[in-house]
Structure 1
């Protein structure tokens, strides 16, 4: 059974091999709507990884990649996921992206908060991290609203942890 995470306005559905094939074809499965601008480049990358693992006869970890849907009008509007398995210290990186026309509505922070909560249900996760471009104040605000704390920055990236 596929993993589904529900929030007030969103549903995060694990990207399985059927969904991955549809993304790579550029054609939504029957009964599924895609927002204008979806799939995103990050979705295509995640779909390719899902199918690569399947081709290697390895079981795909469905907790790694999710499609983000609006609950009020079931439509895929973005993707998110764990960027890697937890490292030796129990830290995992997250990634997310929504179609551009839906930025600034609080949907990003809602998806991030749900993903953080889900990551902490794993026994091997003790820290959730994210890195965003220093000048991307919208993404930085989304991380802060989702409860992540700024822990540093360099010339390119701002780093956050929960």
Structure 2
């Protein structure tokens, strides 16, 4: 949870609803949610659940505004930390709420959580032309870690003494 957002941990039923674009009973979705990115993240989450079980708390989260309860996007980890303590993150918002600081707020919350769990490194990426997302990661403390033909890669590393499990 952040000042303006609730990061709601998704279960398989939540992800299945997002994948087909039909809100479960009692859920509030802002117009435009879920978008194609949310559906792709839901499919990835469901595939992980089918292969290895739920990765929560290192799974998908629905981003909800605290002010009205509406889901406006998604954020989360692409799975549990690997043997070196590394995880990959992703996030996305519906177009109508971009530029209001929600992505930065959600990403910072994920990074604080990852660090509190002893994660050593968090990685993410953005399309080369997605300057907004690159700025979000940089503002959250992530640093550019390379560029390929379509993506700019970012990461943040914590030393063992920076982490609570040290």
Aligned residue number for residue 10 of structure 1: 5
Q: TM-score, normalised by structure 1?
A: 0.84
Aligned residue number for residue 111 of structure 1: 106
Task: List runs of 5+ in structure 1 lacking aligned partners.
Answer: 1-5
Task: List runs of 5+ in structure 2 lacking aligned partners.
Answer: 157-166
CA separation in 2, counterparts of 1:156 and 1:44? 21
Task: Using the TM superposition, give the Cα deviation of residue 54 of structure 1 relative to its aligned residue in structure 2, in angstroms.
Answer: 5.3
- What's the RMSD between the two structures over aligned residues? 2.0
1:67 corresponds, among 62, 67, 72, to: 62
Correspondence list, 1:89-104, <5 A: 89-104=84-99
CA separation in 2, counterparts of 1:53 and 1:93? 14
Residue 127 of structure 2 is aligned to residue 136 of structure 1: no
Task: Using the TM superposition, give the Cα deviation of residue 20 of structure 1 relative to its aligned residue in structure 2, in angstroms.
Answer: 2.1
**Secondary structure of residue in 2 paired with 1:141:** helix
CA separation in 1, counterparts of 2:76 and 2:55? 11
Verify the 8 A CA contact 2:49 2:55 in the aligned structure 1.
Answer: no
Deviates more, 1:44-53 or 1:23-32: 44-53
CA separation in 2, counterparts of 1:154 and 1:50? 25
Matched length: 155
Residue 144 of structure 2 is aligned to residue 150 of structure 1: yes
Superimposed CA distance per residue, residues 28-68 of structure 1 (whole angstroms, 9 cap, x where no aligned partner): 12221111111122322333344445556x53122210000
Q: TM-score, normalised by structure 2?
A: 0.82
